[in-house]
Structure 1
Amino acid sequence: MAGAINPHSFSDSLVILGAAGLVIPGFARFRISPVIGFILVGLAVGPAGLGSLVGQYPWLYHVTISDQEAIAPFAELGIILLLFSIGLELSFRRLWTMRTQVFGVGAAELIGSALFIGLGLYLLGQPWTGAVGLGLALSLSSTALVLPMVGTQGAVGRSAFSMLLFEDLALVPIIFMLGALAPSIAAGPDGAWKNLVDTLVRGGITITVMLVLGRFILPHIFSQAARTKSPEVFLAASLLVVIVSSLATSLAGLSPIVGALLAGLLIAETEYHGEVEVMTAPFKGLALGVFLITVGMSLDIRVILANWQGLLLAVVGVVIVKTLVTALLLYLSGARRGVALEVGVLMSSPSETTLIVLGTAAAAQLILPSTAAFWQIVTAIGLTITPLLARLGHDFARMLEMATGDDPPSAHEESSEPAAVVIGFGRVGRMVCDLLKQHNQRFVAVESDPDTVAEARRNGYPILFGDVSRPEMLDKLRLGHARALILTMDDPVLSVRVTKRVRGWVPDLPIIARARDAEHAAQLYRAGASDAVPETLESSLQLAETALVDLGVAMGPVIASIHQKREDLREGIKEAASMEQAPKLRRLKADETP
């Protein structure tokens, strides 16, 4: 029947979504990284696993993936979205401050690791061109796995990120250089080098155009998307920017991950970057899971068992060389010994981009296909053990710091977090922020109305665009590092829900909430608010204060009596909230009426 849906076309989707639904919660229950789970799923259901038995048991077709190439585009999308999210956490100002780490330590780490690995392979009999290709490939570290584990903040995160960023930028020149070393053009490599220069020029022009246009166009695009109040439109705009940017750099001859990183950087300069990151996070996680499944598919247990000694030596050799080079460079650059060791171990395994460079070296005939296949298995094993290496590196670093007496990271090493988070920037929120600023208290405001955010930014207020009704947006605010949470929005239901959620995972955070009346204040106290301020109560007190002063009562006694009355009413509301005494609440509510 024409147009009928083929159920077999959904088998790969069934496996991927089933893996995501089982692996992530299952491994999280045992506090194990889902990275290992996805790779093991790829190993089990891939062409070298159960997929090889489809001919004997056709029903396995529905729970296995027999065509690895069919899901490769989704894996590439996962890497693109990962680099996009990294760009969102950056800004051009921060990137400029990191220039010494990126182009200093980052470059030295890549070149040093490639030099020692390549030299070792050359001494073992590999031709010098193949040694160069393998050295560069194996010196790369996994952006896809390392950054989600350590982030880009703190001493470890910043050091790892600076080196990974240089590696991502160096990927295109590496690929072109390997092409220039190909035996097929050994007699005349000038053409390959000319192509490299042309690509870099085209890429530079493309990036410049994107920077200029992005500064002017992106704020308008996201402003219009935000005004629709539709999450679907906002998500579509975000994905459109990522895809267009990646296509632009691809057409210029650069890697699409460069365009994704640049798109994230440009959006990070707007007030919408927090909401964009929240909206795209689920897609990034799922697509990254697909990539890890493809890594698992490249493993064949039979081949591993037949060559386990050589594979073990190769994995251990690469890990040791990269750990020593990275740790030594970081220590010489001024990092603490514990940090240098942790980052060295963390960066010691090969990368997903290693597979790309290995394929390029094999296509350029610098290495034999069998050699490329061997090191692809080494790379897949290295990716699988990356979470274990991260755990070991962290533990060894703590032991080293305790043994040598190194001081723990000081507060100034972490990123500057706001002292207070003010949710809502309407009439009340603006007044709260003005007083915080007047008393030199650091704060950041969060508002869901794009026009209000734009106006506040023009007036110099530190404000983010975001919808706190989405739990992911609350998580992005990192309230565990804040000194206080101040809720000023005029939405009783949302304020109670936010209070309850935040109190559940930040038990010691002061939460000061705006309440409509005494009954709403009691609900906020039951939800976990530290203080709730009913508007009707405050208006009554202000009216009484003004009347007493106009009647000639001295200001001092008036202020003292107002403070005492406020405290009595507040304690009454708290008591009623704890005892849930509705009649008392009604009396208090009646007392508030002017």
Structure 2
Amino acid sequence: MTAYFIQAFIYLLAAVIAVPLAKRCGLGSVLGYLIAGVVIGPVTGLVGQETSTIQHFAEFGVVMMLFLIGMEIDPKTLWAMRVRLLGLGGLQVTLTAAAGMAGAWWLGLQWQTALAVGLIFALSSTAIVLQTLDEKGLSKTEGGRNTFSVLLFQDIAVIPMLALIPLLALPGLKGNSSSGSIQDAGLSLVAGLPGWAHALVVVGAVAAVIVGGYYLSRPLFRYVVKSGLREVFTATALMLVIGIAALMSVVNLSPALGAFLAGVVLANSEFRHELEANIEPFKGLLLGLFFITVGAGINFEVLLAEWGTIVSLGAAVIAVKALILFALAKMFGIHSSNGWLFTLGLAQAGEFGFVLLTYSVQSDVIPLEISQILSLVVALSMFLTPLLFIIYDRIVLPRYQRTKNDDRDADTIDEQAPVIVAGVGRFGQIVCRLLRANSVPIVVLDHEFEQIENVRRINIKSFFGDASRPDLLEKAGIEQARLLIVAIDDRDRAVAMVKHVKKFFPGVWVLARAFDRGHRYQLLEAGADNVMSETYHSALELGGYALTAMGVHPMRAKQMTWAFVENERAHDAELFEAWKEIEEGINFSPRYGELFMKLEEALSTSMQGDWEAPKPEDVPVWTPPGED
């Protein structure tokens, strides 16, 4: 028992140290887990032979991840993505498998072994790619959606691949594998069955997941919820996922695919969000453990002996897959940065490659010595995946942003107006609509072409161009303008624009949008006449609703929000002066902290003040919550 505690402590300590460091350096959590595994495995030898056993357990994190993804996709959405799922995914698997087979055959392997190698490298890493897309907020982009479609098809394709591999057995390898088949290793409901019976069992298992998930899960969860014990609900959620994975395994289907299917069935369940909240922590820990075991499982002896071959094959796998993916992106109309996200995101081999590789050895298709090299190639390509995403973030994406915006010639501004609006995102559009509704002439500038197209659709005259450029401001009529509204998303450019306008056109009244208190003070210091924090009034409004929901009279809630605003105004000038000390290089200004605490005390006092109840005829009839 002591040994298990020590091993668990080592794995957790490695993750706690490496992952935050990797995130701080901009490398992402996945690469942090991989580095942690390399350090505690091949480098220091703190973990050993148990790594492969733990890896099989940690692969359950992939199952949980696909279950959660399934709950985000209802059947209508799944049907809508059928073209990308079958067309794009099917072509990717077929073309990559063919290229891998051709390369392996060219290197002298028999066609059966070459085909198995092609199938192994046709798959990508579901765990790493989806985790990274989610971390970087790229899951909802065009490139992210197409990447998910291909990964889902690959998970489905694992099923026929597992069925095909035993048919490729080489007579010369019979008896050389070190372990039995998968069916020998555990329980199987389809071992030895004829083909028609096997098919019936598989269909029955899938039907059980769909029907059981739709009709039986709700009564089960209602029964559990009535107990009032959160831990029992958590146990039920885990039982559901584990049970589905076990059912899929005993009929030789992918547990991940079964979990995804169950998630889709439960996508519209009233218990969906509670299930997500209970399973998410387990999924994150198991995925992290899986990545650590990939790093810890690298065999440095084989790597050092065959490093040239392994590195060359790893680079070849990534390059060939990237070429095929890039061509498919062009064919299916995945343009610009989304095409590169699709290409770089799927250019590696994946965790299911280890499964197929092990099965190929057990089925006498791939010799053991070749499998050791291929295993390292798979691991190396997975290890390089976070670096491919870094290339996308730091090289590809900025280039396309420049191409889309900065390299595009600014529009010819042929109109001038007394009001110039810089920036028409979610904030600026509301300002523009209000001004237009009151027949106030405006000139709109924005350097995001999509935003310009959006406001043109609602008949607001707008021009593409960087509003912080002095020449464009002059063409828009800043010299004669009465008002400049600064609503751009870039903090530094907003401050620079205000400084320029107030220096050369001091008669122009400048209204600016701020992100937070510090940015507001920067804009005021630059000379803005009025500054409004973008979330200030919406937060006040919501706070008033919260007070009303807790039983405070609506008019009293309004008075409290007004008192909040007045209290802020009363201390704003003092806080501004104290903030200047911080900006001048003082790490912490005691005066600012004292003033802020003074503001909080004054706010608390004003909230407790007496007020006169409004006359019934002055306010709408209101019933406190819970009394209706």
TM-fit CA distance, 1:147: 0.7
The one-letter code sitting in structure 1 at the alignment partner of 2:202 is G
Which residue of the other structure, out of 38, 45, 53, is the alignment partner of 1:43? 38
Structure 2 CA distance for partners of 1:255 and 1:588, relative to 1, 3 Å: same
Give the equivalent residue in structure 2 for 1:67.
50
The answer to which of 280-289 and 34-43 deviates more is 34-43
**8 Å contact from structure 1 (residues 339, 397) kept in 2:** no
TM-fit CA distance, 1:399: 5.4
**8 Å contact from structure 2 (residues 34, 295) kept in 1:** yes
Give the equivalent residue in structure 1 for 2:441.
none
Aligned mates of 1:403, 1:129 — CA distance in 2: 48
Give the equivalent residue in structure 1 for 2:140.
153
- 1:8 equivalent in alignment to 2:14: no
- 1:21 equivalent in alignment to 2:16: yes
Please give the per-residue CA displacement for 1:225-279, whole angstroms capped at 9, x wherever unaligned.
Answer: 4444433122112111101111111222212222221222222221222222122
The answer to which of 91-100 and 288-297 deviates more is 288-297
Aligned mates of 1:233, 1:194 — CA distance in 2: 38
TM-fit CA distance, 1:129: 0.8
Give the equivalent residue in structure 1 for 2:388.
389
Please give the per-residue CA displacement for 1:206-243, whole angstroms capped at 9, x wherever unaligned.
Answer: 11122112111222233344444433122112111101
Structure 2 CA distance for partners of 1:270 and 1:183, relative to 1, 3 Å: same
TM-fit CA distance, 1:503: 12
Aligned mates of 1:295, 1:336 — CA distance in 2: 33
- 1:128 equivalent in alignment to 2:157: no
Which residue of the other structure, out of 561, 564, 571, is the alignment partner of 2:562? 571
Aligned mates of 2:50, 2:550 — CA distance in 1: 62
Give the TM-score normalised by structure 1: 0.67
Please give the per-residue CA displacement for 1:405-444, whole angstroms capped at 9, x wherever unaligned.
Answer: 5999xxxxxxxxxxxxxxxxxxxxxxxxxxxxxxxxxxxx
The one-letter code sitting in structure 2 at the alignment partner of 1:574 is V
Structure 2 CA distance for partners of 1:514 and 1:35, relative to 1, 3 Å: closer
Give the equivalent residue in structure 2 for 1:344.
343
Give the equivalent residue in structure 1 for 2:367.
368
TM-fit CA distance, 1:570: 4.4
SS at match of 1:271: coil
Aligned mates of 2:517, 2:401 — CA distance in 1: 34
Give unmatched runs, 5+ long, in structure 1. Answer: 1-5, 52-62, 409-501, 522-531, 541-565
SS at match of 1:268: coil
- Across the aligned residues of Structure 1 and Structure 2, the Cα RMSD in angstroms comes to 3.4
Which residue of the other structure, out of 542, 554, 559, is the alignment partner of 1:538? 554
Aligned mates of 1:589, 1:307 — CA distance in 2: 82
Give the equivalent residue in structure 2 for 1:259.
258
Aligned mates of 2:192, 2:106 — CA distance in 1: 28
Give the equivalent residue in structure 1 for 2:299.
300
SS at match of 1:254: coil
TM-fit CA distance, 1:588: 4.1
TM-fit CA distance, 1:301: 2.7
Aligned mates of 1:398, 1:202 — CA distance in 2: 48
TM-fit CA distance, 1:376: 0.3
TM-fit CA distance, 1:75: 1.4
Aligned mates of 1:77, 1:234 — CA distance in 2: 19
User: What is the aligned length?
Assistant: 442
**8 Å contact from structure 2 (residues 96, 118) kept in 1:** yes
TM-fit CA distance, 1:330: 1.9
TM-fit CA distance, 1:290: 1.6
Give the equivalent residue in structure 1 for 2:542.
513
Give the equivalent residue in structure 2 for 1:398.
397
Give the equivalent residue in structure 1 for 2:73.
90
Aligned mates of 1:230, 1:192 — CA distance in 2: 41
Give unmatched runs, 5+ long, in structure 2. Answer: 175-189, 408-515, 519-532, 570-598, 617-628
Aligned mates of 2:402, 2:608 — CA distance in 1: 63
Larger Rg: 2
Aligned mates of 2:370, 2:53 — CA distance in 1: 25
**8 Å contact from structure 1 (residues 298, 376) kept in 2:** no
The one-letter code sitting in structure 1 at the alignment partner of 2:149 is S
The one-letter code sitting in structure 2 at the alignment partner of 1:113 is T
Give the equivalent residue in structure 2 for 1:175.
162
The answer to which of 13-22 and 196-205 deviates more is 196-205
- 1:78 equivalent in alignment to 2:61: yes
**8 Å contact from structure 1 (residues 328, 340) kept in 2:** no
Aligned mates of 1:38, 1:536 — CA distance in 2: 49
Please give the per-residue CA displacement for 1:167-215, whole angstroms capped at 9, x wherever unaligned.
Answer: 000101101101111135999xxx9998666444322221112211211
**8 Å contact from structure 1 (residues 515, 534) kept in 2:** no
Give the equivalent residue in structure 2 for 1:468.
none
The one-letter code sitting in structure 1 at the alignment partner of 2:12 is L
Aligned mates of 1:214, 1:386 — CA distance in 2: 35
The one-letter code sitting in structure 2 at the alignment partner of 1:572 is A
**8 Å contact from structure 1 (residues 326, 343) kept in 2:** yes
**8 Å contact from structure 2 (residues 345, 389) kept in 1:** yes
The one-letter code sitting in structure 1 at the alignment partner of 2:253 is L
The one-letter code sitting in structure 2 at the alignment partner of 1:571 is W
Aligned mates of 2:227, 2:612 — CA distance in 1: 41
TM-fit CA distance, 1:102: 0.6
Structure 2 CA distance for partners of 1:18 and 1:589, relative to 1, 3 Å: farther
The answer to which of 21-30 and 306-315 deviates more is 21-30
The one-letter code sitting in structure 1 at the alignment partner of 2:77 is R
Aligned mates of 1:282, 1:45 — CA distance in 2: 23
The one-letter code sitting in structure 2 at the alignment partner of 1:513 is L
Aligned mates of 2:74, 2:405 — CA distance in 1: 31
**8 Å contact from structure 2 (residues 357, 371) kept in 1:** yes
Give the equivalent residue in structure 2 for 1:485.
none
Structure 2 CA distance for partners of 1:306 and 1:186, relative to 1, 3 Å: closer
Aligned mates of 2:194, 2:44 — CA distance in 1: 44
Give the equivalent residue in structure 2 for 1:441.
none
**8 Å contact from structure 1 (residues 142, 349) kept in 2:** yes
TM-fit CA distance, 1:113: 0.7
- 1:356 equivalent in alignment to 2:360: no
Aligned mates of 1:76, 1:586 — CA distance in 2: 56
The answer to which of 106-115 and 324-333 deviates more is 324-333
**8 Å contact from structure 2 (residues 214, 265) kept in 1:** yes
**8 Å contact from structure 1 (residues 129, 181) kept in 2:** yes
**8 Å contact from structure 1 (residues 247, 259) kept in 2:** no
Mapping of residues 386-465 of structure 1, within 5 Å: 386-398=385-397, 401=400, 405=404
Please give the per-residue CA displacement for 1:283-313, whole angstroms capped at 9, x wherever unaligned.
Answer: 1111112211221132133432332221121
Aligned mates of 1:357, 1:203 — CA distance in 2: 20
The one-letter code sitting in structure 1 at the alignment partner of 2:287 is L
Please give the per-residue CA displacement for 1:59-105, whole angstroms capped at 9, x wherever unaligned.
Answer: xxxx5344224423421222222222222222211111111111110
Structure 2 CA distance for partners of 1:185 and 1:164, relative to 1, 3 Å: farther
Structure 2 CA distance for partners of 1:535 and 1:140, relative to 1, 3 Å: same
**8 Å contact from structure 1 (residues 536, 593) kept in 2:** no
Structure 2 CA distance for partners of 1:403 and 1:36, relative to 1, 3 Å: closer
Aligned mates of 1:41, 1:406 — CA distance in 2: 40
**8 Å contact from structure 1 (residues 323, 341) kept in 2:** no
TM-fit CA distance, 1:592: 5.7
**8 Å contact from structure 2 (residues 544, 558) kept in 1:** no
Aligned mates of 1:98, 1:371 — CA distance in 2: 38
Aligned mates of 1:91, 1:162 — CA distance in 2: 14
Aligned mates of 1:390, 1:66 — CA distance in 2: 31
Aligned mates of 2:282, 2:78 — CA distance in 1: 26
The answer to which of 228-237 and 147-156 deviates more is 228-237
Please give the per-residue CA displacement for 1:453-472, whole angstroms capped at 9, x wherever unaligned.
Answer: xxxxxxxxxxxxxxxxxxxx
Give the TM-score normalised by structure 2: 0.64
Structure with greater helix share of residues = 1
SS at match of 2:266: helix
- 1:278 equivalent in alignment to 2:298: no
Aligned mates of 1:117, 1:406 — CA distance in 2: 39
Aligned mates of 2:517, 2:368 — CA distance in 1: 57
